[in-house]
């Protein structure tokens, strides 16, 4: 009887531990929503956000909706950030004869859209939105009135600074002593991350909280950039392992420590998105210089095209977004045909087998107990 109890305990423990330890696997669904659709975000309901025919749009329940954020008759733009409360941060842009891109940033909630004011005035003003939280606070970058030397005198260039927009006000977050900065993510607590130039004109990852921008550092004094933050305060990004190198490695920054996610340090990799469970997606280049998507969780990095059916011949390339259900939006190729796909997690076959075996043993033990009681 002691053996049966020990075996039962071990098996029951295995039922609950196995899913956490097993490597994830995914099914692949192609997104044939339109030839000129570019979806870059997926929310927890599976709605896709980005652009359709170069217009700001989202796709849900088999239907694409174009979001009218301006009065332009020929808008070109996209949704670039979303919140779980329904906020849509977006931008629309136009290109001058000199191929200079000017952009306006917008915040939309329940069909009502607000034009973000930006910092600069007159020709050369542009504002991009990169993040929004559930309070409707938007972060991004906007051109200032600080004109940069050189360039076409008819199309002057201006320094861009990170901003935070809240309560109808834009706040300049400044830099780390250099010229440019950009805010790329914000969490529920209002903590902001991004990249800013320091006094040596090197880009460094920053965190902005309590009214102060702080350099997060870098691997071995190289450059760095923070691309996202979740509500637990986990920060992702990429950093060079040595000064002067253009090869950056994806990182996780937690508890004051910047950790390499484990892609080859000799090849570039980027951390793209993080969900509330702390699962990170990104992509890196392989030995042939081709992009390969990955997921990082529980301290392990997994190349995504090794987690799909090998008979389907999928190559998972650039990743874009991961929701809290581990649904991943990415670009992928199959037999030289490429497009955007959704990767849906599925339980491991071993997990099913163990669960079935466990249920069978539980039933067997229940019957043994019932028989023993009847005999008594």
The pLDDT of residue 156 is 75
Token output for 106: 């917008």
- Is 69 in a helix, a strand, or coil? coil
The tens digit of pLDDT for each residue in 290-334 reads 999 999 999 999 999 999 999 999 999 999 999 999 999 999 999
How is 269-306 classified by DSSP, letter by letter? Answer: EEEEEE-TT--EEEEEE-TTS-EEEEEEETTEEEEGGG
pTM of the model: 0.85
Residue 374 burial (10 A CB sphere; 0-12, 13-18, 19+): exposed
- Is 355 in a helix, a strand, or coil? helix
C-beta atoms surrounding 318 within 10 Å: 18
Token output for 210: 């309590």
Is the pLDDT at 246 greater than 90? The verdict is no
Q: Residue 340: beta bridge partners?
A: 331
- Residue identified by tokens 């259900």 is 325
The pLDDT of residue 373 is 43
Q: Which of 95-109, 122-136, 312-326 has the lowest mean pLDDT?
A: 95-109
Q: Do 304 and 295 contact (CB within 8 A), yes or no?
A: yes
Q: Residue 229: beta bridge partners?
A: 235
Token output for 141: 């970058």
Q: Do 49 and 58 contact (CB within 8 A), yes or no?
A: yes
Backbone angles phi, psi at 65, to 5 degrees: -115, 125
The pLDDT of residue 73 is 83
Domain extents in the chain: 2-375
The tens digit of pLDDT for each residue in 214-234 reads 999 999 878 999 999 999 999
CATH class of 2-375: mainly beta
The pLDDT of residue 51 is 98
Listed residue (127, 132, 126) closest to 108, CA to CA: 132
């Amino acid at each position: 009887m002691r053996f049966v109890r020990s075996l039962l305990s071990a098996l029951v423990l295995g039922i609950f531990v196995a899913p956490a330890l097993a490597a994830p696997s995914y099914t692949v669904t192609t997104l044939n929503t339109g030839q000129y659709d570019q979806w870059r975000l997926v929310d927890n309901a599976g709605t896709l956000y980005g652009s359709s025919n170069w217009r700001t749009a989202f796709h849900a329940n088999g239907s694409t909706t174009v979001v009218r954020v301006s009065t332009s008759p020929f808008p070109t733009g996209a949704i670039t950030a979303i919140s779980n409360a329904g906020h849509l941060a977006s931008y629309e842009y136009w290109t001058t004869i000199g191929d200079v891109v000017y952009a306006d940033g917008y915040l939309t909630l329940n069909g009502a859209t607000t034009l973000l004011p930006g910092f600069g005035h007159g020709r050369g003003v542009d504002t991009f939105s990169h993040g929004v939280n559930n309070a409707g606070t938007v972060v991004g970058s906007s051109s200032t009135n600080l004109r940069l030397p050189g360039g076409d005198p008819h199309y002057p260039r201006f320094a861009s600074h990170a901003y935070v927009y809240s309560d109808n006000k834009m706040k300049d977050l400044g830099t780390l002593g250099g010229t440019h900065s950009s805010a790329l993510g914000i969490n529920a607590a209002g903590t902001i991350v991004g990249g800013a130039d320091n006094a040596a004109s090197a880009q460094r990852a920053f965190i902005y909280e309590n009214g102060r921008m702080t350099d997060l550092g870098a691997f071995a004094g190289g450059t760095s950039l923070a691309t996202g933050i979740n509500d637990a305060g986990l920060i992702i990004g990429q950093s060079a392992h040595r000064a002067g190198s253009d090869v950056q490695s994806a990182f996780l920054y937690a508890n004051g420590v910047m950790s390499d996610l484990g892609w080859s340090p000799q090849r570039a990799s980027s951390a793209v998105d993080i969900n509330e469970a702390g699962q990170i997606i990104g992509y890196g280049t392989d030995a042939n210089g081709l992009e390969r998507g990955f997921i990082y969780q529980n301290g392990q990095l997994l190349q995504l095209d090794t987690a799909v059916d090998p008979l389907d011949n999928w190559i998972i390339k650039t990743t874009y977004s991961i929701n809290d259900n581990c649904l991943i939006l990415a670009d992928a190729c199959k037999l030289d045909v490429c497009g955007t796909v959704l990767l849906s997690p599925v339980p491991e076959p071993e997990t099913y087998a163990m669960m079935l075996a466990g249920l069978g043993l539980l039933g067997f033990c229940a019957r043994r107990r019932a028989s023993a009681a009847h005999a008594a």
